[in-house]
């Protein structure tokens, strides 16, 4: 049997159950999906198709199958597909993502920037929440070092910043550097089996933090 990810969905849609054989094949296909995912969406579509509704005019089942496909992949894989630092605007969406990561056993650290007035407030608050040692130097180099000490870890780690525009308002380059450090450390953490990531909620709709974690190609250690 083909693996689900190997099936060309466009070809499946093109069938449009144009014959009895194709219709039965579609039913079989959906039953496999339902057995593997227990997706309510797929179950409902199966019920509609097998109860005599005309599948040629029903389009919701296509979306249901796509939802079932997405459900097979961990939410974190989809959320952090392009970056380990992800921005949010509305709190409901970051709350939903936090809930999903908790289900994947992420260790969540919530850091609220709303009361910060200076860069030192960042260091004091972060050191307390992340449990940095007493010798934490309260500068970005020290932040980088202490962040690297958080992994390897039994659980993946998510740093959640709320109201991040406050820190950017204090010093934009400082705030961008914070996210750059997290993105760089995320790459190192993965090598050691830990996913380090950051969810960043900002009330600035046009916030941008470019070129995070940018690296150059390294020469191999055997020759240089």
pLDDT in tens, 84-110: 999 999 999 999 999 999 999 999 999
Tell whether the model's pLDDT for residue 193 goes beyond 80.
Answer: yes
Closest CA to 165 of 192, 200, 196: 200
Is the pLDDT at 114 greater than 90? The verdict is yes
Tell me the whole-structure pTM to 2 decimals.
0.69
Give residue-wise pLDDT tens across range 43-98. Answer: 776 676 666 545 444 455 556 555 655 666 788 988 998 899 999 999 999 999 99
- Cα separation, 31 vs 45, in Å, equals 10
pLDDT in tens, 132-150: 999 999 999 999 999 999 9
Q: Domain spanning 75-201 has what CATH number? A: 3.30.370.10
DSSP calls for 133-197 = -TT--SSHHHHHHHHHTT-S-SS-EEEEEESTHHHHHH-HHHHHHHHHHHHHHHHHHHHTT--EE
Where are the domains positioned within the chain? 4-72, 75-201
pLDDT of 20 strictly over 80:
no
């Amino acid at each position: 049997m083909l693996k689900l990810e190997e099936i060309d969905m466009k070809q499946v849609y093109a069938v449009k159950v144009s014959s009895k054989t194709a219709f039965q094949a579609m039913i079989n296909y959906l039953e496999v999906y339902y057995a593997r995912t227990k997706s309510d969406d797929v179950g409902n579509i199966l019920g509609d198709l097998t109860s005599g509704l005309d599948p040629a005019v029903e389009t919701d089942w296509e979306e249901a199958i796509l939802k079932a496909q997405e459900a097979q992949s961990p939410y974190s894989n989809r959320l952090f597909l392009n970056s380990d630092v992800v921005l949010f605007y509305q709190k409901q969406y970051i709350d939903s993502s936090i809930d999903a990561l908790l289900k994947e056993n992420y260790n969540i650290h919530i850091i609220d920037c709303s009361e910060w007035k200076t860069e030192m407030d960042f260091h004091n608050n972060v050191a307390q929440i992340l449990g940095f040692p007493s010798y934490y130097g309260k500068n970005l180099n020290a932040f980088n070092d202490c962040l690297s000490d958080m992994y390897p870890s039994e659980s993946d780690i998510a740093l959640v910043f709320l109201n991040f525009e406050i820190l950017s308002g204090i010093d934009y380059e400082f705030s961008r550097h914070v996210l750059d450090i997290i993105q760089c450390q995320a790459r190192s953490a993965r090598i050691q089996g830990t996913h380090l990531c950051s969810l960043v909620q900002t009330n600035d709709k046009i916030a941008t933090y470019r070129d995070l974690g940018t690296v150059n190609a390294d020469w191999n250690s055997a020759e240089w």
